[in-house]
Amino acid sequence: MEQLLEEFSLGLFFWQTLLFLLLLFLLWKYAWKPILGAVNDREEGIKNALAAAEDAKKEMQNVTADSENLLKEARAEREAMLRDARDIKEKMLADAKGQAKAEGDKMIKQAKAAIESEKKAAVADIKSHVANLSVDIAEKVLKEQLDNKERQLKIIDDFLDDVTLK
């Protein structure tokens, strides 16, 4: 340190101080403002980026909540649609069963009516055949002079052998 004090020059000190102050002035005038502006801009950019990131985070939370709500609503709507579809299916099945039963009952009634009609026609036909047979038998019996009972029975048996039911 003694050597520094021995070699100290006031002129050199003055010029070095003046150059240093000039350098500080030039830096303040031309470099300090742009550097501080760039730092401030960078700081503002970082703040904006952090704010945007926070907003994006909040937006993501809102979107997530909205999507969960939409999903819940969609599930509820799907359940309602399935329930409605089941109800419609059950109603259609019940209607179809009712209609089939009604048509079956109608067909049974029609079949019974047809059977009854055929039965009446068959009975009428049988009555007609019996009446014709009775007339034929009576006619043959009357044509023959029947004095004995054995002959009557023989004629009836012969006649019955000749007759076939249609």
Asked whether residue 80 carries a pLDDT value surpassing 90, the answer given is: yes
User: Residue ranges per domain, the chain?
Assistant: 12-162
When pLDDT is averaged across residues 115-138 and rounded to a whole number, the result is 83
pLDDT of 37 reads 86
Higher-confidence residue of 28 and 52: namely: 52
Q: How far apart are CA 132 and CA 3, in angstroms?
A: 172
Confidence of residue 56 (pLDDT cuts 50, 70, 90): very high
Q: Which amino acid is at 124?
A: A
Q: How far apart are CA 59 and CA 69, in angstroms?
A: 15
When pLDDT is averaged across residues 77-96 and rounded to a whole number, the result is 94
Asked whether residue 97 carries a pLDDT value surpassing 60, the answer given is: yes
Q: Are 137 and 155 in contact (CB under 8 A)?
A: no
Q: How far apart are CA 117 and CA 124, in angstroms?
A: 10
**pLDDT (tens digit per residue) in 38-53:** 899 999 999 999 999 9
Confidence of residue 27 (pLDDT cuts 50, 70, 90): confident
